[in-house]
Structure 1
Amino acid sequence: MSIEKSGLPIGVFDSGVGGLTVLRALRELMPGENYLYLGDTARVPYGSKSADSIVRYAFQAGNALVSRSIKMLVIACNTATAVSLEKLAAEYAPLPVVGVIEPGAAAACAASGSGNIAVIATESTVNGKAYQNTICELHPEAKIIARPCPLFVGLAEEGWTDGELVEAIAARYLHPLFAEFGSNGPDTLVLGCTHFPVLREAIANVAGPGITIVDSAETTALKVKNTLSSLSLLNQAGGKGRTRFLATDSAERFAAVGGSFLGIDIDPTNVSVVDL
């Protein structure tokens, strides 16, 4: 591949700001890469939408990024990955397309000693059984129970990430879920939505010290790097890469809320509002 193409940005999209947790891991692993992130903040959350709507939204986001010249597309949304990954990969081939579910499932299997794995995600991701099926393929003896936690997305988008209220909601979700495993509870909890990592401390406080919490951000970043390397598409320009942002609603709100997900302040002037 040409040096010119290797300098193109990695395109990343999510239903809102949750995918910035994946972008954060990408930037930490590959600081020399350029990134173009799109948050469909006008239509968040995807998790309560129909499969047809999610596929349509995913293609609109993907088309917006592909039209701006990217070298890879990362679906930083578990719901969109579950419903649209294969369709987007086929449509955009030979452009490499990576989702977050397979890396997250692999990390859960590696982390679990007992094979008892709990998954929390959006309603669409749980109902689509994407994590359940992928974990079973990797670990046929695993016992997987998945439950939707829809309120977590709203809490994350509002920036309510800790405190008694968040832990009380987490307890209402997690305690019945863990009880379904019986006396041998889960040893691994998969955060099957990219919004959930910002609630990690509250979730961990409720889950307890015996539970390994897995999110797909770091393993997805590693898969992205390995894929780019295999295609000779890693940026060789040197220096620190550039990150630009697109949102489908208020740039100011995206910047204000997104900073906690990305781990750094976001300048609203670096956020362009687009209509999909």
Structure 2
Amino acid sequence: MDQPIGVIDSGVGGLTVASELLRQLPKEQLIYLGDTLRCPYGPRPKEEVVQFTWEMVNFLLQKNIKMLVVACNTATAFTLEQLRLELDIPVIGVIQPGARAAIKMSQNMRIGVIGTEGTINSKAYPNALKNINSKILVNDLACPRLVPMVEEGILSGPEAYKVVNETLQPLKEQNHIDTLILGCTHYPLIREIIQEVIGEHVNVISSGEETAREVSTIMGYNKKLYSGDRIPKHQFFTTGRLDVFKRIASQWLDQPFKVVENAVIGINKTN
């Protein structure tokens, strides 16, 4: 089926999911929209996150997408069920795939979760994990400083290490988790620092790979996979600064910069 897959996120973090989609589904076209102008979503009220998410969804529906991937954990926690009820295309979030991946990796069933305030307060990850295995012990931690840092393009160096180290101290002090879920799609962009801080003995889980696998499975089942032979043309949209978005996208997607540059289009928003 020659229609694109739509991917939405509160900013650049969803590029980590888009990267996995490009790797696992190289024939499929992607249309990505990152709401960098209004990022982060984590501190916002649920009603506002729902409103912003639907604005992004409606934009992508105009592009005739065949599937929607909600690559923002906060938006997934607050809107996934509503989107699935009201849309006539498959909708995939990132929380369930991340939870399943963590359970596969954990040996002692003690799992940590880091995310935005909205994601952590929603208890979406503990609920998803305990729905699979009620014996799992979950330690979750809100990390409000990480998304703004990533959106500014600070992905490495002393400043990034300092922020991550200070943020993760509560989890380090407990020192019993063997698996850590990156409950925000921005966090894989600083995964190496997170791994260094939390320790090599902890499995660090990003939901991107599992989410892409689920997308592939569902599209195959629904006979929506593109079966022809082509080099797909992807489109990337951002509501905020193009320069920061282009720089991070070109690094993370591991594609020639001109491809990203030609595809990124700014969207003017007044609210």
TM above 0.5: yes
Gaps of 5+ in 1: 1-5
Q: Which residue of 2 aligns with 1:8?
A: 3
TM-score (norm 1): 0.93
Tell me how far 1:52 sits from its aligned partner: 0.3
Percent sequence identity over matched residues? 38
The letter of the residue matching 2:36 is T
Tell me how far 1:165 sits from its aligned partner: 2.3
Gaps of 5+ in 2: none
TM-score (norm 2): 0.95
Moved over 3 A (4+): none
Q: Say yes or no: does 1:96 pair with 2:87.
A: no
Of residues 114, 117, 121, the one that matches 1:123 is 117
Tell me how far 1:139 sits from its aligned partner: 1.6
Q: Which residue of 2 aligns with 1:176?
A: 170
1:39-65 deviation line (CA, Å, top 9, x unaligned): 111111111111000000110100100
* Aligned 1:128-147 pairs, distance under 5 A: 128-147=122-141
Tell me how far 1:272 sits from its aligned partner: 1.7
Q: Which residue of 1 aligns with 2:228?
A: 237
The letter of the residue matching 1:56 is Q
Of residues 217, 221, 237, the one that matches 1:226 is 217
The letter of the residue matching 2:260 is D
C-alpha separation in 2, matches of 1:32 and 1:240? 7
The letter of the residue matching 1:29 is Q
Q: How many residues align?
A: 267
C-alpha separation in 2, matches of 1:128 and 1:261? 29
Of residues 182, 186, 192, the one that matches 1:195 is 186
C-alpha separation in 2, matches of 1:28 and 1:119? 26
Tell me how far 1:258 sits from its aligned partner: 2.4
Tell me how far 1:256 sits from its aligned partner: 2.0
Contact 1:17 1:257 in 2 (8 A): yes
Tell me how far 1:262 sits from its aligned partner: 2.3
Deviates most, 135-144 or 266-275: 266-275
C-alpha separation in 1, matches of 2:268 and 2:152? 23
C-alpha separation in 2, matches of 1:40 and 1:242? 21
Tell me how far 1:67 sits from its aligned partner: 1.5
Tell me how far 1:144 sits from its aligned partner: 0.2
Q: Say yes or no: does 1:160 pair with 2:151.
A: no
C-alpha RMSD of the superposition: 1.3
Q: Which residue of 1 aligns with 2:204?
A: 213
The letter of the residue matching 1:55 is V
C-alpha separation in 2, matches of 1:261 and 1:40? 17
Q: Say yes or no: does 1:64 pair with 2:56.
A: no
Q: Which residue of 2 aligns with 1:3?
A: none
